């Protein structure tokens, strides 16, 4: 009986001690979850080659301070993602500036034709415009993580393109106003189409070509109906931004903010541009491996001819854009510096 009572007392004491110790220990905090809006679905080329690897790297660096979880177009799409991030529906977002519905008048400089073609250097030059305050006003409502320009845009066609004469009068799919203006001055007829309609339009003869990147050719299989490509003259490099909700950033711990900061800025922009460039190179190699694709290389004199004809497009942008001359001059200088490793 005494032994039984001692056992009960010991058990009660142990339980009380356990409760006391348990009460003195703080509960393990759940990691902060940050919703990251990407504009592509799992399985697509940008999703698997750009955004999933980036998410994996930053989560590993965070070491539990936060956890980034990708959410797709059902949560935020190309036209509303900027607002969804500002309003806190998502915490981080990739934004393609063109279709965002926001007035990125100055940032759209990367769309100018015949200006840049190297993804990493272009992205560095783009970021430096922000760092110098020349386009900072356009990002005042967000925590800007990085800027990227690319991939480089060229032409795809059902017929070989060896000179400007080969596209005169041709109906060619454009991407926005700037590429439409470029096609117009070259004598082509720009047709605005979403890329999802390009394959069918090419196969039916509605258009004979389009402004494209290597990865968009692969993504939408347009090489099955248009096997001629020309990238010696750039038709621009689409601007994109990686942004974060300001309040979401402010709520992070000091360690969490430090991780975000380490994935932000000029080097982050260089890395993002390089990732797009690597993807574009891989897609080009895959296209070449098909054996039935032809990439035309223009003569230096023909390239100069294209550049001369495209100059009015750049000049018009400068005239219509506040501080346009300074922006263009600065971008050109920083692009040349970045190409030289500076």
Number of domains present in the structure of the chain = 2
Q: What pLDDT, on a 0 to 100 scale, did the predictor assign at position 21?
A: 45
Average pLDDT of span 207-218: 92
Q: What pLDDT, on a 0 to 100 scale, did the predictor assign at position 219?
A: 84
Q: What is the mean pLDDT of the chain?
A: 91
Q: What pLDDT, on a 0 to 100 scale, did the predictor assign at position 258?
A: 98
For residue 63, give Cα distances in angstroms to 67, 91, 93, 249. 9, 18, 21, 17
Instruction: Let me know whether 124 and 211 are in one domain.
Output: no
Check residues 14 and 196 and name the one with the higher pLDDT: 196
Domain for residue 12, yes or no?
Answer: no
Instruction: Let me know whether 242 and 277 are in one domain.
Output: yes
Q: State the Cα–Cα distance between residues 258 and 249, nearest whole angstrom.
A: 10
Helix (H) or strand (E) holding 171: strand 171-174
Contact assessment for residue 136 and residue 118, using Cβ atoms and an 8 Å cutoff: no
Domain for residue 325, yes or no?
Answer: no
Instruction: Let me know whether 57 and 140 are in one domain.
Output: yes
Given a cut of 80, whether residue 314 has pLDDT beyond it is: yes
Domain for residue 175, yes or no?
Answer: yes
Instruction: Let me know whether 115 and 242 are in one domain.
Output: yes
Contact assessment for residue 150 and residue 122, using Cβ atoms and an 8 Å cutoff: yes
Instruction: Let me know whether 44 and 160 are in one domain.
Output: no
Contact assessment for residue 145 and residue 244, using Cβ atoms and an 8 Å cutoff: yes
Instruction: Let me know whether 130 and 166 are in one domain.
Output: no
Q: Give the domain CATH number at 247.
A: 3.40.190.170
Average pLDDT of span 108-127: 97
- CB neighbour burial string for 90-102, b if at least 16 within 10 angstroms, e if fewer: bbbbbbebbbbeb
Question: What's this model's pTM, rounded to 2 decimal places?
Answer: 0.89
Q: Give the lowest-confidence range in 16-30, 136-150, 200-214.
A: 16-30
DSSP secondary structure string, 234-279?
---EEEEEEEE-HHHHHTS-HHHHHHHHHTSSHHHHHHHHHHHHHH
Q: What pLDDT, on a 0 to 100 scale, did the predictor assign at position 44?
A: 87
What confidence category does residue 91 fall into, taking pLDDT thresholds of 50, 70 and 90?
A: very high
Q: What pLDDT, on a 0 to 100 scale, did the predictor assign at position 45?
A: 85
Instruction: Let me know whether 216 and 280 are in one domain.
Output: no
Average pLDDT of span 112-139: 97
Domain for residue 8, yes or no?
Answer: no
Instruction: Let me know whether 251 and 304 are in one domain.
Output: no
Q: State the Cα–Cα distance between residues 49 and 194, nearest whole angstrom.
A: 22
Instruction: Let me know whether 59 and 121 are in one domain.
Output: yes
Q: State the Cα–Cα distance between residues 21 and 17, nearest whole angstrom.
A: 6
Average pLDDT of span 88-101: 94
Average pLDDT of span 107-119: 96
Query: Which residues, other chains included, contact 35 with Cβ-Cβ below 8 Å and sequence gap of 6+?
Result: 69, 71, 75, 89, 90, 91, 92
Percent of the chain exceeding pLDDT 90 equals 83
Instruction: Let me know whether 97 and 218 are in one domain.
Output: no
Average pLDDT of span 75-84: 95
Average pLDDT of span 209-226: 91
Domain for residue 111, yes or no?
Answer: yes
Q: State the Cα–Cα distance between residues 163 and 209, nearest whole angstrom.
A: 14
List, for residues 318-332, the tens digit of each pLDDT value: 999 999 999 999 999
Average pLDDT of span 62-77: 95
What confidence category does residue 29 fall into, taking pLDDT thresholds of 50, 70 and 90?
A: low
Q: Give the lowest-confidence range in 97-101, 188-192, 231-235, 311-315.
A: 97-101
Domain for residue 318, yes or no?
Answer: no
List, for residues 2-27, the tens digit of each pLDDT value: 444 444 445 444 444 444 444 444 45
Given a cut of 90, whether residue 94 has pLDDT beyond it is: yes
3-state secondary structure of 312: helix
Average pLDDT of span 62-70: 97
Q: Which domain holds residue 170?
A: 155-234+291-310
Instruction: Let me know whether 58 and 192 are in one domain.
Output: no
Structure tokens at 336: 């040349």
Domain for residue 11, yes or no?
Answer: no
Instruction: Let me know whether 128 and 247 are in one domain.
Output: yes
Q: What pLDDT, on a 0 to 100 scale, did the predictor assign at position 176?
A: 86
């Amino acid at each position: 009986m005494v032994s039984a009572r001692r056992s009960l007392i010991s058990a009660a004491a142990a339980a009380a001690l356990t409760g006391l110790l348990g009460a003195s220990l703080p509960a393990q905090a759940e990691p902060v979850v940050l919703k990251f809006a990407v504009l592509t679905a799992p399985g697509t080329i940008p999703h698997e080659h750009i955004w999933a690897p980036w998410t994996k790297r930053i989560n590993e660096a965070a070491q539990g301070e936060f956890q980034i979880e990708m959410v797709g177009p059902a949560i935020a799409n190309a036209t509303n993602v900027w607002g969804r991030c500002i309003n806190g529906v998502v915490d981080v977002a990739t934004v393609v500036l063109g279709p965002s519905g926001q007035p990125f008048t100055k940032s759209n400089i990367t769309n100018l034709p015949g200006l840049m073609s190297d993804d990493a250097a272009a992205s560095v030059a783009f970021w430096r415009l922000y760092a110098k305050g020349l386009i900072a006003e356009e990002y005042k409502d967000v925590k800007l993580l990085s800027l990227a320009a690319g991939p480089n845009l060229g032409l795809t066609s059902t017929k070989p393109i060896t000179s400007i004469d080969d596209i005169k009068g041709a109906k060619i799919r454009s991407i926005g106003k700037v590429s439409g203006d470029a096609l117009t001055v070259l004598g082509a007829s720009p047709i605005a189409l979403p890329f999802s309609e390009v394959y069918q339009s090419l196969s039916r003869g509605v258009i004979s070509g389009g402004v494209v990147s290597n990865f968009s050719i692969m993504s939408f299989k347009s090489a099955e109906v248009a096997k001629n490509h020309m990238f010696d003259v750039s038709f621009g490099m689409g601007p994109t931004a990686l942004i974060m909700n300001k309040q979401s950033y402010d709520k992070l711990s000091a360690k969490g903010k430090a991780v975000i900061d380490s994935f932000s800025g000029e080097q982050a922009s260089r890395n993002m541009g390089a990732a797009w460039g690597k993807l574009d190179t891989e897609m080009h190699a895959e296209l070449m491996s098909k054996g039935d694709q032809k990439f035309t290389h223009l003569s230096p004199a023909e390239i100069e001819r294209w550049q001369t004809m495209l100059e009015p497009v750049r000049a018009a942008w400068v005239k219509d854009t506040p501080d346009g001359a300074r922006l263009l001059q600065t971008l050109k200088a920083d692009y040349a510096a970045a190409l030289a490793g500076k």
